């Protein structure tokens, strides 16, 4: 096996590491206990005690990891120096790259940097590894003298707050302790902001990005009233409700008519769809939605039920095989290809006549339909009249 080949077997670690035999024996003993025979109060106490012991054990592990890193001893277990401590953790403990790097940086900050009090609290069981990591990350870009001076206050906050609130408190306290550095960090955060949309192969759109605190809070405040469960039978999870809320927020912004014009016209969702798809004929392909990809026929009809429609008559020049040759798979694919718009490699189309944009439902008709139907009547749509 060459040096670039990775085994699928788990790493072979020492069965009896020096000084850890007693710990191994205790863990083995715990595994053999019948927990169902213990009363519930005792089981609850054991969970709390084991949690604190586990935190102390992680603290000791980080302490010894910092020592390995400081001595450059990563890989000494196999007498083969590793390129880095993080890469050694990845290969021997199968840690992810990001997790390994962050673990090493946390160990350095606690046991070789400006946070000795935090390290002592972690090893002593007064502080959880999550709290210690927040302090290590929060002070990473702060000068060591400032961190050393601020650590007692940060540690006091850590003893009273959970990790998310501690992260916020660290940000506030460091702005006071290092105002000049806080301005620089704020500028760096500002430069990192961004928002990305990318179509996926299976017809979805991936969303990602980073928002500044104010922008993030604005977005959450706008999404919150739209992300509530619609009723007691709403089976959507939180992520799904937020995705639907973002879509609804964008739809309302487009319909409100308050957005700046783009290309001389108000922002709009443009879908190119053939008549067969609107009429739900068998074999219809749906519509073209632009960069986000194709839209299924049902989605086209749902948008058309309350959209502005422009009639475009075209002549098409199909390049597919004769009807007799369309029984095999390749023939069917060529036939489907001929139905695609030319922008997607389909048949060449030439506009013959373009009509005026018209609303499918006029205002007077909308009021009458709201009284008659009580909301959207599209299959699967439960929008009330005000949202249709």
- pLDDT of residue 352 exceeding 50, the answer is yes
3-state secondary structure of 295: strand
E strand map for the chain: 194-199, 205-210, 272-273, 287-288, 294-295, 308-309, 312-317, 348-354, 358-359
Residue 364's pLDDT is 60
Mean of pLDDT over the chain: 79
pLDDT in tens, 293-316: 667 787 777 777 766 667 666 665
Helices and strands per DSSP (H, E), number in the chain: 15, 9
- pLDDT of residue 157 exceeding 60, the answer is yes
- pLDDT of residue 211 exceeding 60, the answer is yes
Stretch 55-72: mean pLDDT: 95
Nearest to 330 by CA among 339, 340, 342, 320: 320
Q: Please give the residue that has the higher pLDDT: either 380 or 344.
A: 380
- pLDDT of residue 188 exceeding 50, the answer is yes
Q: What's CA 1's distance to the chain center, in Å?
A: 38
């Amino acid at each position: 096996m060459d040096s670039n080949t990775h085994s699928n077997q788990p790493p072979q670690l020492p069965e009896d590491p020096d000084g850890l035999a007693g710990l191994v024996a205790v863990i083995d003993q715990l595994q053999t206990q019948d927990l169902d025979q213990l009363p519930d109060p005792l089981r609850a106490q054991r969970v709390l005690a084991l949690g604190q012991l586990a935190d102390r054990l992680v603290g000791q592990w980080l302490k010894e990891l910092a020592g390995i890193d400081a001595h450059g001893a990563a890989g000494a277990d196999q007498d083969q120096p590793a390129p880095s401590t993080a890469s050694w953790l990845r290969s021997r403990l199968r840690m992810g790259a990001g997790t390994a790097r962050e673990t090493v940086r946390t160990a350095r900050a606690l046991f070789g940097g400006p946070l000795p009090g935090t390290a002592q609290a972690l090893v002593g069981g007064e502080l959880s590894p999550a709290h210690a990591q927040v302090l290590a990350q929060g002070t990473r870009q702060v000068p060591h003298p400032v961190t050393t001076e601020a650590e007692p206050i940060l540690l006091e906050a850590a003893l009273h707050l959970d990790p998310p609130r501690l992260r916020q408190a660290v940000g506030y306290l460091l702005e006071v302790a290092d105002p000049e550095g806080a301005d620089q960090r704020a500028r760096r955060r500002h430069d990192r902001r961004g928002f990305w949309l990318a179509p996926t192969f299976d017809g979805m759109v991936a969303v990602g990005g980073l928002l500044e605190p104010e922008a993030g809070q604005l977005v959450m405040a706008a999404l919150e009233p739209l992300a509530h469960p619609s009723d007691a039978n709403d089976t959507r999870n939180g992520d799904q409700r937020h995705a639907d809320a973002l879509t609804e927020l964008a739809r309302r912004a487009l319909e409100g008519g308050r957005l700046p014009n783009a290309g001389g016209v108000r922002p709009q969702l443009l879908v190119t769809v053939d008549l067969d798809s609107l009429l739900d004929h068998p074999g219809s392909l749906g519509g073209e939605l632009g960069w986000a990809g194709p839209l299924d026929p049902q989605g086209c009809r749902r948008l058309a039920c309350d959209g502005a429609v422009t009639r475009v008559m075209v002549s098409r020049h199909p390049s597919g095989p004769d009807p007799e040759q369309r029984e095999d798979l390749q023939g069917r694919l060529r036939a489907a290809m001929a139905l695609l718009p030319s922008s997607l490699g389909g048949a060449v189309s030439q506009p013959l006549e373009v009509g005026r944009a018209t609303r499918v439902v006029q205002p007077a008709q909308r009021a009458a339909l709201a009284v008659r139907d009580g909301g959207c009547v599209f299959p699967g749509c439960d929008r009330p009249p005000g949202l249709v």
